Structure 1
């Protein structure tokens, strides 16, 4: 699985993915455990796989593309990401109405308030900051904690374990321990919600036909997704804008461009870059026969840079109509919280740029530490400065 990005190109997918895509959208691939499966790099091919119920998302049927970690266990109870229909459908239906566009837009005022508070704190402490710590991490973390009813003060207890689970090469025992800690934490929280319900999503779900184990599983999946993905989009998106001054100027000049800019940044950066599914039966795709039991790894970052779908794909263009990008996935497993993520990014990025007109990197771009070897790409820190 090509994973090495070219030096000095922190926003581009590994160059080998583009070369493979040019040869064909579907390539035979040897997995670290010896399995012979496939790698999908073309936009239409990846989109087809994501929408096809003949490809399974069950972990125990997959071969891991990054390291030989042995047989994967089934998804924990409540973890929709590792389920197929009809089990997946049951949980998804319970949650979809709680993450609608209308409901998430109703949270805009709260996102604006949280964003302003963190920008105020940055300004007081400035004129330098680590944008990850001061801005990108706390805004989505506060929002998902408030939405679920998770005490933000407990974040040190769960953030470290959530990060472990997004690693690509973590030891199975380490990952199992991190998952167990998260499920234990959520189990305690679910019990507390049943005893004393509050005005939050977990409390609301205790009134539905769900076991405590199922609620804990749903809770940790939603919490983990809400903590890490948007945080990395805010930080890495800012890094990309600072590296493209003309696009930065365009967004500053026209804050109404924010919605379009968010979609283009999602396409261009594709921070949730890789996934996998396994064929439940023999499937013919792009003139190739995928046998039942074979795993297909799909490169979202390569698909979102496919020139057959997006002209001049390696250029960040905030005025591009990037509709149809796969940054939030596609099909029944498309990101449940995508509307919340959009609200957070649509509010936070323009507010940051408006508050600090002279915002710039405080270190050379090559010194910004990148999150390599993670299933969610981004930056570990983003030192910035501005003029007082």
Structure 2
């Protein structure tokens, strides 16, 4: 009797869609080896981790730091995280029991969903959003409620949209500000109104602020710093974006001790602890890395101004993202939808962008262009995009 291995796959996993980003980059992979391809796709800094961070980790390895750490993370790293968060975000956390070090922010998010979601609990999140939010909620047997954001609002989340989307049984609000893929964020007044909504509906807030250091205009306001919010917020952050440490896979979560303890229970059985070498690198990043962050932010700011200006000149309406390293132009003026635009641009001009629907249905008509690549390459990519759009317009005239 021939067995069918797929019968053993859990139902909620078998129906889980693959990442829209990875699905599209199967096309990019087929062009591997073609040096002329310019990728504005994967959200990864083009900067190498600053040398002093790498050197510190190398020295730690040479000194034999190859052992497990506490489940919560190295005590000295948790102290530095507590200091850093108090300085930059205005929230005080006890390093002994209100901070946990994780394998990237992705693990911190997974821990939170698994620790706090009972089957059927509803989780509100704003969309377009990072590709893992909805699937992570499903994997924890929760019910996801998408809250739309719009280009007319610069993709800022509004309290009005939350009110309209709210359903009885909602337990958690997932925030990502500044946002991947749109770069949208919120003013202090908007955050205060969202906080009031969370208090009124008695929601736990998971606040992913991984792009906060890459805020170009105005202040970044953490919802955890507002009155009555620290006790109902899990603050999620890490080192991948601002410190250019993607491959180190190191992040952290801060929050009320009882909630961090619940996350630690899941973490100790699933992961035990984050890599000690990655933790050593993170320690050095927090102690001496802020100057490098400022230099990288300045370069991202310059690149953002370039691509936003060029996209609008081309006729692809694009708001100016206040944070992150993503632009989210509307492409329907080309006569193509987001998928056809991305595929055609890759095939004809060898520039890779990601269809906006990879980030949810509200990304329809847009593409995500990551400007974490060299300035000269961005100029070239914009030139190619201009030729592609002009070709589409010419084709419409011809027909």
Global fold match (TM > 0.5): no
TM-score by length of 1: 0.29
Q: TM-score, normalised by structure 2?
A: 0.28
